[in-house]
Structure 1
Amino acid sequence: MFVLVNLKAYDVDPVEIATAARDVAEESGARIGVAPQAAHLPAVADTGVETWAQHVSAVEHGSHTGSTLAEAVADAGASGTLINHSEKRLKLADIDAAMDAAERAGLETCVCANNPDQVGAVAALGPDAVAVEPPELIGGDVSVASADPDIVEDAVAAANAVDDAVAVYCGAGVSTGEDVDAAGDLGAEGVLLASGVAKADDPRAVLEDLVSPL
């Protein structure tokens, strides 16, 4: 089970959270990744935690001012990237091109989707993983695995029907070890969360609780 923490653009100390994630991962044996702002990628990677980008653009080297070049992300220390997060939506063709860019740079990919139908569509593009995240639950206190477990089960079924090599992650509202356990019971191979860790008074304690069932 992979625990991927998206720091979004929250007013947090990314190095502090990354250090806590690294320590909890080492002590528990769990796989934990952190996705900071692009400017913070080198500092987070320097902690030794598994580091992910929040986005890569569907571009190659060239005249693309303001874009997030996949090669630059990899050079900064990232080993993977989110694509098509609910807060950074892309058209299907751009998702495909962003995945090509990530593959070119050797980055693992997790494409976000709102529902099982979208999961099936993006699974056909061949990402490493798809995260199902109903937008209405993002940033809330109720996990999708608890609020609507059918979505997770249907997402797993949709991905498996297209390509059973594509892992399904459970996102939106995940904040406790019980949420992680429930996601696993529904067939998810990872969880994607943000505020549950980033906004916590004690991120390390939350991370320890998240991996406690693993």
Structure 2
Amino acid sequence: MFVLVNLKAYPCDPVAVAEAAQDVSEETGVRVAIAPQAAHLSAVADTGVETWAQHVSPVEHGSHTGSTLAEAAADAGATGTLINHSENRLKLADVDGSIDAADRADLETIVCANNPDQIGAAAALGPDSVAVEPPELIGTGTPVSKADPDIVTDAVEAAAAVDESVDVLCGAGISTGDDVVSAQDLGATGVLLASGVAKADDPRAALEDLVEPLA
């Protein structure tokens, strides 16, 4: 299972969280990655933890003020990127463009989507993975794997029907090791979470609890 922690724009110490994630990953053998703000990519990558961008723009080098260039994210140490998170939605053509941009920079991709139908459409664009995240559950502490497990199993089936090589992650409300196991049991190959770690009083303890059933 892959555990990707999105720090969003929460007021946490990204380096401290990254150091904790790197230690937990090394100690348990579980793949753990951190997605910080773009300005913190280099600092987080310097900890040795697997580092992901929260977004890359569907642009090439040129006149694109305010964009997040995929090559710049890669130069800063990112090895992958989220695309189309529910808090940063893109048009379908721009999702496709961002995947192309990430491919140019050799970044692994996870395209987020709200439901199984969108998962199928996202999988057709050729990302490495997709993540199903019902927006109404994000940040609630109620995981989709418990609130509506059919969404996860249907998303796995929808992606497989389009391209069996596309992995499916489960997001929204993930906060405990039990949530991770439930997602795995439903066919997900990883989880995407944020506040359960980024807003925790003790991020290392939160990470240890998340991966303990997997170690």
- 2:66 corresponding residue in structure 1: 66
- 1:38 corresponding residue in structure 2: 38
1:202 partner amino acid = D
Distance in 1 (alpha carbons) for counterparts of 2:165 and 2:127: 9
Residue 147 (str. 1) matches residue 153 (str. 2): no
Q: For residues 77-96 of structure 1, what are the structure 2 equivalents within 5 Å?
A: 77-96=77-96
Q: For residues 115-130 of structure 1, what are the structure 2 equivalents within 5 Å?
A: 115-130=115-130
Unaligned segments of structure 1, at least 5 residues: none
Distance in 2 (alpha carbons) for counterparts of 1:206 and 1:149: 23
- 1:99 corresponding residue in structure 2: 99
Q: CA deviation at 1:213?
A: 1.2
- 1:167 corresponding residue in structure 2: 167
Offset from partner CA, 1:162-204 (integer Å, 9 cap, x none): 0010000000000000000000000000000000000001110
Distance in 2 (alpha carbons) for counterparts of 1:140 and 1:212: 22
3-state SS of paired residue (1:101) = helix
3-state SS of paired residue (1:102) = helix
- 2:185 corresponding residue in structure 1: 185
* TM-score of the pair, normalised by structure 2: 0.99
Q: Quick one: percent identity of the two aligned structures? A: 78
Distance in 2 (alpha carbons) for counterparts of 1:140 and 1:24: 25
Distance in 2 (alpha carbons) for counterparts of 1:190 and 1:129: 10
Unaligned segments of structure 2, at least 5 residues: none
2:99 partner amino acid = M
Q: CA deviation at 1:57?
A: 0.1
2:43 partner amino acid = A
3-state SS of paired residue (1:106) = coil
2:128 partner amino acid = D
2:170 partner amino acid = C
* TM-score of the pair, normalised by structure 1: 1.00
Aligned residues: 214
Residue 136 (str. 1) matches residue 133 (str. 2): no
3-state SS of paired residue (1:10) = coil
